[in-house]
Amino acid sequence: MKNVYFVGSGKLTFELIEKIINENLKLELAPEAKFRIERCREYLDQKIEESDKPLYGITTGFGSLCNRNISLDELSTLQENLVKSHACSVGDELQPVIIKLMMLLKAHALSLGHSGVQVITVQRIIDFFNNDVMPIVYDRGSLGASGDLAPLANLFLPLIGVGDVYYKGQKREAMSVLDEFGWEPVKLKSKEGLALLNGTQFMSANGVFALLKAFRLSKKADLIAALSLEAFDGRLDPFMDCIHQVRPHKGQITTAENFRKLLEGSELIVREKAHVQDPYSFRCIPQVHGATKDAINYVASVLLTEINSVTDNPTIFPDEDLIISGGNFHGQPLAISYDFLAIALAELGNISERRVAQLIMGLRGLPEFLCANPGLNSGFMIPQYTAASMVNQNKMYCFATSSDSIVSSNGQEDHVSMGANSAVKLFKIMNNLDHIFAIELMNAAQGIDFRRPARTSSLLERFLNEYRKEVPFVKDDIVMYKEIHKTVAFLNRTKFDY
């Protein structure tokens, strides 16, 4: 079926996830996944019945309470209490796309058959996804070890008929929506609360969404920088392939290739130059943008492994007759990667602001502050201030949250990743990048207009023509924040195919 994705039928990819979300595909549990889930649950039930040894989180309490044994008739209550007591996420509500990604990723992880859940539990997650029943989850509260306990608890409260959801644009009590669909609250069996709450799906969902945007931001950065290079009357030499082949970092080679494509056929780039070299913010674009591309691709590889993994605890291996209490919920691989990505993305803004500054200095025949009528007008003086402010803020967000750890659970959980905070701060950096890139585009377009009648490449001319339909050349001072906002909107809806 074209409009259905079968959960557990194969590995998730970023392209597949984007298709599921953007094309609003419905989810269905694959038959092989259902078999794996049932088999694992049957094994666990049998193990509990036969074993006289305590099983962490199954017949014991949690965290530092792992030495407290729980009677068999209270195992279901234990799991429900876990979900209720751990629902402590606070802050800003997550946007619906992140909620849907969390449900998709959790359903996929549980479908791998090592978590001991019931089929109905996974099916209800899929039902929520398919019917746009959106549990209300907040963006703060996870330490990124023992999984994303607090936000995942908020996410799955509605499965047991507790908590709040958004449905058809209204905030409602979960139980009323379950009644509307004729769904009974899921009666959690042993281990199921842990299976739902242990796991890295909050970190992973935020990371997937951020990474998909990071790919787009990287392309956007190249195109806008190419326009700035033209406006600055820059040289093509630093983008020639031979210089990158003798230092063959993949991202560097790709960036230079992108620029040669973007600038092909340009009158401006091939005309004779009075200067023999450009400032680093132009000359070193392949090296800087390229390093960011390599970082994005590295983070993508880590995240791809993560979203196709089992990250709850304990982990059940029916074939090996093993139930192992381990640490796959620990978010350190993601935390370090996200901090790396934060630095890499922030650098795109850092070098972009420097190009903005070069364009307003009155160099290479451009008027100071790109003023058509200088003196009476300030022109593009202050947008650079705004860009610099956001660059500074991004540097603050580059603090490595993964370098911190605060002991929890009375010393039992004595090292945590803080990966959830690493994930959430990426959105703040990228929001700033949207605005920094918009300011660079405004400056670059203004600068190119001062180069007329000379023309850039046909590809860039088409882009500029579309942009100028919405944001005109600035002849006399106007209210600039409106133009920045219009430029952000233009960039966010424009595809960057080259």
Cite the active site residues: 56
Distance CA(468)–CA(485), nearest Å, equals 14
263: left (phi over 0), alpha (psi -120 to 50) or beta: alpha
Cross-strand bridge partners of residue 7: 29
Distance CA(359)–CA(230), nearest Å, equals 11
Distance CA(162)–CA(5), nearest Å, equals 28
Helix 419-449 vs helix 332-359: crossing angle, to nearest 10: 20
**Phi, psi dihedral angles at 408 (to 5 degrees):** -135, 175
Buried b (16+ CB within 10 A) or exposed e, 165-182: bbbeeeebebbebbeeee
3-state secondary structure 195-225: HHHCCCHHHHHHHHHHHHHHHHHHHHHHHHH
- Could you tell me which of 229, 207, 38 has the C-alpha nearest to residue 121? 38
Contact 160, 279 (CB under 8 A): no
Distance CA(239)–CA(65), nearest Å, equals 61
Distance CA(170)–CA(180), nearest Å, equals 14
